[in-house]
Amino acid sequence: MNQLLIVDDDTELCTLLAERLRADEFALHAAHDGKTGLEMASSGAYSLVILDVMLPGMGGMELLKELRSRSSVPVLMLTARGDDIDRIIGLEVGADDYLPKPFNPRELIARIKAILRRFDERRVGQNRFIAGDITIDIAMREASVGSRPLHLTTIEFSLLEILVRNAGHVLTREYLTDIALGRSLGAFDRTIDVHISNLRKKLDAHRETEHIKTIRGSGYLLAPHRPNEER
């Protein structure tokens, strides 16, 4: 069974979700405060972390920021419904996806499976792709730009792979959301845009020109740079 961790101070919710997830062959472990949650999430024992924004002591955002300095474990954040700021900040800090409370357990399970599927595909693939000065190794789950390694979240790695595979072609926000997140793009959903923004910052550090171009009204395009191009 996949070992999952939920960090949430709502003990009743944790118990209910553990029972529901067991039917889908997930073992859900729980931490009810940020400090305990951080230590458990950093242990390497879990396939995915479900993280509530509102926690006693260390808050969810602080926990996520510290966790990202230690681990690339996939993180699904739970936010208050309608709280766009928390969602955007969570994605910027390094969450792979978010789900507003209250939620349908079936949607939670669908999100978990989509994230884990992308993560597993990264681990078991056998291909290496190059586009200009960008190299990604699917088997090793490593990426670099020039000689500089990139430290990417699961979703960022998925997005970069999709863009590299389709370098020079415009990819719609709908397509990227479907392939990278495993779900449909919502009417006011900015998740994919925030992930693209984060990926841009990592690709274009110390560089004036951008690898990823925004094509207004269409989507995004990876414009490969020559390997010997000056930074």
Q: Do the Cβ atoms of 94 and 153 come closer than 8 Å?
A: yes
For residue 49, what are the CA distances in angstroms to 29, 31, 158, 223?
10, 11, 18, 34
Residue type, 26: F
Residue 77 to residue 60: CA distance in whole angstroms = 8
Sheet of 75-80, strands arranged across:
26-31, 2-7, 48-52, 75-80, 97-101
Band of the pLDDT at 119, cuts 50, 70, 90? confident
For residue 219, what are the CA distances in angstroms to 90, 152, 223?
23, 21, 13
Q: pLDDT tens for residues 79-111?
A: 887 678 888 888 888 899 999 998 999 999 999
Look at 52 and 231; give whichever has higher pLDDT.
52
Q: pLDDT tens for residues 35-69?
A: 999 999 998 889 999 999 999 889 999 999 999 88
For residue 127, what are the CA distances in angstroms to 43, 88, 106, 122, 123?
29, 32, 33, 10, 11
Domains of the chain: 2-121 (3.40.50.2300), 125-222 (1.10.10.10)
What is the helix (H) or strand (E) element at residue 194, kind and residue range? helix 191-203
* DSSP 8-class letter at 216: T
Band of the pLDDT at 13, cuts 50, 70, 90? very high
Band of the pLDDT at 123, cuts 50, 70, 90? low
Q: Is the pLDDT of residue 156 over 80?
A: yes
Cα–Cα–Cα angle for 28, 29, 30, rounded to 5 degrees: 120
